[in-house]
Amino acid sequence: MKQLQDEITQALTKLDGGSEFHEDSWERPEGGGGRSRVLRDGAIFEQAGVNFSEVWGSHLPPSILAQRPEAEGHGFYATGTSLVLHPRNPYVPTVHLNYRYFEAGPVWWFGGGADLTPYYPFAEDAAHFHQTLKLACDEHHPEYYPVFKRWCDEYFYLKHRDETRGVGGLFFDYQDGQGVLYRGPNPKGEAANYSNQVGEPASRDWEDLFSFIQGSGKAFLPAYVPIVERRHGMEYGDRQRNFQLYRRGRYVEFNLVYDRGTIFGLQTNGRTESILMSLPPLVRWEYGYQPEPNSPEAELYDTFLKPQDWSNWTANQ
């Protein structure tokens, strides 16, 4: 996980070319700590935050024990890397990645994923992101991508707006190599339906899953960097910038209202500055905003903020 943080921050520093990451190391009094790295006012990134943390303790918080009673009476260890990149140019999408590992006595699991949040509708960007992640998944199991893609659409959803956060990607949790792939809260959703049709895949061991996590982590740069490279030079004006700042409000709404990691971190005395590093540096809200019909902004709402089969998109469809 630490290595993933290193690889990604090195590559992003090179890509940005205008600023560098500053690191804060922190310790957790109850055990463990982390490294928060932030790049600000770069040539490409208005803000890029990449966190690594590794924490342990003698007993789990009650909220986790309620979900996983088998972990009662054991110490725990949890580690993860997460990032959120907020580019300045509205034609470059925001992106999020998180991979994490948890163990407590006999219980262990992996979780994580990556998802893309464009401001302007470029279908080839969404398709490239999904196809790259799908390839990385398919090397480990043919049903990972179709289940985790649907789980991502379900998770990154703003109910009060009836919008997905963006074009999605992958999301999964509680992966221990046993049982069905979908372990989320909605037994009647698309992800659960698909996962139930797949049934229980052959069991996979710790090394299999670790290798899958490594593979998806490594797929992040090839999934995202080419999109930055083809968009960051595009000219934009106040209209695009204002729309980007407005849409960033949805990122804030999602992270503060729905995101389990954010809410859990804030409620359990996590390091607030590291947790809220995901929030954009500048954000607008506007009462009653509606995109102009037939505009690129309307196309974003109509097509990119609803689940789509991006990995099968082709240029001449």
Give me the residues paired with residue 185 across strands.
none
Q: Which stretch binds a second copy (CB under 8 A): 117-125, 129-137, 219-227, 286-294?
A: 286-294
| Amino acid present at 271 | R
Scan residues 143-162 and list those touching a second copy (CB under 8 A).
159-161
**DSSP annotation of 292:** P
Tell me how far apart the alpha carbons of residues 217 and 143 are, in angstroms, rounded to a whole number. 18
Interface with a second copy, residue 277, by CB under 8 A: yes
- Give the residue from 173, 169, 174, 123 showing the smallest Cα distance to 149: 169
**DSSP annotation of 280:** -
Question: Under a CB-based contact definition with an 8 Å cutoff, are residues 1 and 81 in contact?
Answer: yes
272 known member of a binding site? yes
Report residue 188 as tokens: 């009647």
In the numeric block, the tokens 């969404």 are attached to 126
194 known member of a binding site? no
Give me the residues paired with residue 295 across strands.
none
For residues 247 to 266, the per-residue mask of contacts with a second copy, x marking binding by CB under 8 A and - elsewhere, is --x--xx--xx-----x--x
Q: Is 96 a catalytic residue?
A: yes
Scan residues 219-238 and list those touching a second copy (CB under 8 A).
none
Nearer to a second copy, 196 or 272 (CB): 272
Scan residues 14-53 and list those touching a second copy (CB under 8 A).
24, 36, 38, 40, 47, 49
What angle do the packed helices 206-231 and 2-16 form, to 10 degrees?
A: 10
Number of residues located near a second copy, criterion CB under 8 A? 35
- Give the residue from 117, 139, 131 showing the smallest Cα distance to 246: 117
Tell me how far apart the alpha carbons of residues 243 and 230 are, in angstroms, rounded to a whole number. 20
Shortest CB 3 distance to a second copy, Å = 23
Question: Under a CB-based contact definition with an 8 Å cutoff, are residues 300 and 306 in contact?
Answer: no
Number of Cβ within 10 Å of residue 269's Cβ equals 11
Interface with a second copy, residue 63, by CB under 8 A: no
Interface with a second copy, residue 106, by CB under 8 A: no
Exactly one of 105, 205, 281, 303 binds a second copy (CB under 8 A); that residue is 281
Pairing, β 32-40 against β 21-27: antiparallel
**Residue from 59, 74, 86, 96 carrying the catalytic annotation:** 96
Shortest CB 203 distance to a second copy, Å = 38
In the numeric block, the tokens 């982390």 are attached to 34
Shortest CB 63 distance to a second copy, Å = 15
68 known member of a binding site? no
Shortest CB 97 distance to a second copy, Å = 18
Compute the half-sphere exposure of residue 258: CA atoms within 13 Å on the CB side of its CA. Answer: 16
Exactly one of 174, 276, 296, 313 binds a second copy (CB under 8 A); that residue is 276
For residues 161 to 180, the per-residue mask of contacts with a second copy, x marking binding by CB under 8 A and - elsewhere, is x-------------------
Report residue 271 as tokens: 């390091």
Residues annotated in a binding site for substrate: 82, 98-100, 269-274
- Site of interaction with a second copy (CB under 8 A): 24, 36, 38, 40, 47, 49, 159-161, 245, 249, 252-253, 256-257, 263, 266-267, 269-270, 272-273, 275-277, 279-288
Catalytic residues: 96
